[in-house]
Amino acid sequence: MSCIYREKNNCKVTKNICPWVMWCSKINNYKERAGIDKYCKYKNMSNIPSGYSKVVFEKKGFLYIDVDNETIKIKNPYDYTPLYVKLFKSKGEWKIRKEKEKE
């Protein structure tokens, strides 16, 4: 998933060209560079809606999420890495509440 603060190669926050995208001639489109999730300060400083938890990072199909001063590991049900997710506890175990797609 592309950054929500980016439109093509322009950052909506700074109103300048995003340094974390590059033109890819194979796909004839802009492509995010590796490290955007870790180093883009605007993506990392995003406001988390109430009731949601911040995703720290994704590794090998698992999301690492901040919950109550600890980081938990949950299988990623998405085909991208979200910035934040809505969680619920079922039988003592945290699970992700998947949002319905808007049409």
3 vs 12: CA distance, rounded Å? 10
- Structure confidence by residue, pLDDT tens digits, 8-43: 888 877 788 888 888 989 999 888 888 776 677 776
- Structure confidence by residue, pLDDT tens digits, 35-88: 776 677 776 666 677 888 888 888 899 999 988 888 899 999 988 888 888 998
Q: Are 76 and 62 in contact (CB under 8 A)?
A: yes
Look at residue 45 in the predicted model and tell me its pLDDT: 63
59 vs 57: CA distance, rounded Å? 7
CA neighbours closer than 13 Å in the CB half-sphere of residue 70: 3
Is the whole model's pTM more than 0.75, yes or no? no
Whether residue 102 has pLDDT greater than 80: no
Q: Name the one residue in this structure whose structure tokens are 């033109």.
A: 23
Check residue 79 and report its DSSP letter.
S
